Structure 1
Amino acid sequence: MAVPRRIPVAFGVVFPVGAFVVGVEPVNDFDKVRAGTPDAQQRDEETGDLVWQVKVIDADPAARTNEVKIRMTAAVQPVPPDLLPGTPFRPVEFDGLSLTPYIDRRNAERPKIAYSMRASAMRAPGGLNGRRPGPAVAA
């Protein structure tokens, strides 16, 4: 049995109520930062593309934590969907979402399984590109 390192998962399984983008920022490679390298941004080991971190609010009131971070790889900074008109919220869906399990050892006496998330792309929900659907038109 071959289990992939990054386990593919549907967006609706991880975010059943939806999600909102808070911001996008580069992920630094701390070894490069310590060495004083001018380009200290982390690169994906598989593709060589730059790694970006997308801060997301989980809209599910039952979620254990409401802010999560999803990493994306791209040659240029990914652009979040448009704001919902009249609100400060940017609803989002992620394509190519995957989970990578790891052991979180921040509490040495009680380590636990945690997951890092990656996505290949982000877009407005339902393919609306940030626009609300208009009224139905009869044919």
Structure 2
Amino acid sequence: MAIQGPIPVSFAQVFPHGCYAVGEVEPVKDFEASTNGRFVQSRDKNTGEPVWQIPVMDADPSLKAAQKTVAVKILSAVQPVAPAPVAGLPITPVEFDGLTITPYVNGAGRLAYSIKARQMLAPRTNVKPTGKEAAA
């Protein structure tokens, strides 16, 4: 098989309706290396970079409540910072660059996905004018 390791995907493929940060960026614990009272941060197997995570809410209206919140892991030498809040919104919209997904079978025997990113940033506004707007 030609695909090995994490599968590159676009932000629009994973979050076509966008997503919102609903928690703080935190280091991911390496459960094998950590001991009682000694926290060791997880490192990515492929890059060796520290792994951070942030819970986000998928804005897809068709998802059930239990499916809306997922953790996105971010590979970064320094702790990523969420974009500034948007005035009038109770939660912060975010986007991710360099996304990959890794499918796996979870403890319940169901297919699940680990989502990793290289960067977290404020949503871009890629609005393209339509025929009417372009003519105005």
Q: How many residues align?
A: 123
Q: 1:87 is matched with which residue: 89, 110, 127?
A: 89
RMSD, matched Cα: 1.8
Q: 1:116 is matched with which residue: 114, 133, 136?
A: 114
Q: How far has the Cα of 1:127 moved from its partner?
A: 6.1
| SS at structure 1 position matched to 2:35 | helix
1:66-119 per-position Cα deviation (integer Å, ceiling 9, x unaligned): 10011111111101111011222211111111110111232xxxx221111001
Q: Give the Cα separation in 1 of the matches to 2:44 and 2:101.
A: 15
State TM-score, norm by structure 2: 0.82
Q: How far has the Cα of 1:33 moved from its partner?
A: 2.0
- Following TM superposition, where does structure 1 have runs of at least 4 consecutive aligned residues deviating by more than 3 angstroms? none
Letter in 2 for 1:55: P
Q: Give the Cα separation in 1 of the matches to 2:57 and 2:118.
A: 18
Letter in 2 for 1:2: A
State TM-score, norm by structure 1: 0.80
Letter in 2 for 1:45: K
Q: 2:104 is matched with which residue: 102, 105, 108?
A: 102
The equivalent residue for 1:135 is: none
Letter in 1 for 2:46: E
Gaps of 5+ in 1: 129-139
The equivalent residue for 2:133 is: none
Q: Give the Cα separation in 2 of the matches to 1:95 and 1:30.
A: 27
The equivalent residue for 2:28 is: 27
Gaps of 5+ in 2: 127-136
